[in-house]
Copies of this chain bind each other. A is one copy, B any other.
């Protein structure tokens, strides 16, 4: 028995999220079906670094599984890709220690959120959040800095996650205009981990700041309130990308 770590990308548009659910098309189920085929029809569980929601994309998601089949890393990569739909792609296969765990061993995760402030582009309709009003981007840049550090992010998580421990550390944040398309705003977050809806809720609050409805410094108070009602709307899923997972 060997443990493998895979790095893979997917277009979240036509998935009901990462995690297997009966009757729904999910990333986990697609990959487990491919693994089952490769692993002599044996059920082969996939353990990912974490879930992503419906319509959320991943450029470098990571997951582990165990196989008892003689196969080289290159052949395993090819066998997986030839059994996966065209909206999932395995980039890399590595062998790891038998105690490696794709979720527990995560040190950092990197996310990007893309938002278009310019003319609607039909080619990007599933890949950016289209926002048709003007925003005070300067205020948003001030506000996003307040998310840095170690905080109890209870005010920014989905109701389901509130019973869990909500303290996380965010190491890096930024808002930048894309170099080739100045109308495209890119929000970057790097931290120990993010809870369900956390990034989309943080972006939702930053939009409120950009609309001049609240001040940049108010982020501090909302974090301290630990009250979901203070934060506001959840930004749409299609703008969110899991960019990388660091072990």
Instruction: Point out residues on A near B: beta carbons under 8 Å.
Output: 9-11, 57, 59, 81, 86-89, 91, 119-123, 125, 127, 179-180
Copies in the complex: 2
Rounded to whole angstroms, the CA-CA distance of A88 and B179 in the bound complex is: 25
Rounded to whole angstroms, the CA-CA distance of A59 and B86 in the bound complex is: 25
Give every chain B residue within 8 A of A127 (Cβ-Cβ).
Answer: 123
The reply to whether A11 and B86 contact each other, CB–CB distance below 8 Å, is no
Give every chain B residue within 8 A of A120 (Cβ-Cβ).
Answer: 81, 89
The reply to whether A86 and B119 contact each other, CB–CB distance below 8 Å, is no
The reply to whether A122 and B179 contact each other, CB–CB distance below 8 Å, is no
Beyond the given A86-B122, A179-B180, please list 9 additional residue pairs across the A-B interface where CB-CB is below 8 A. Answer: A9-B121, A9-B122, A11-B123, A59-B121, A59-B123, A86-B125, A87-B125, A179-B179, A180-B180
The reply to whether B180 and A125 contact each other, CB–CB distance below 8 Å, is no
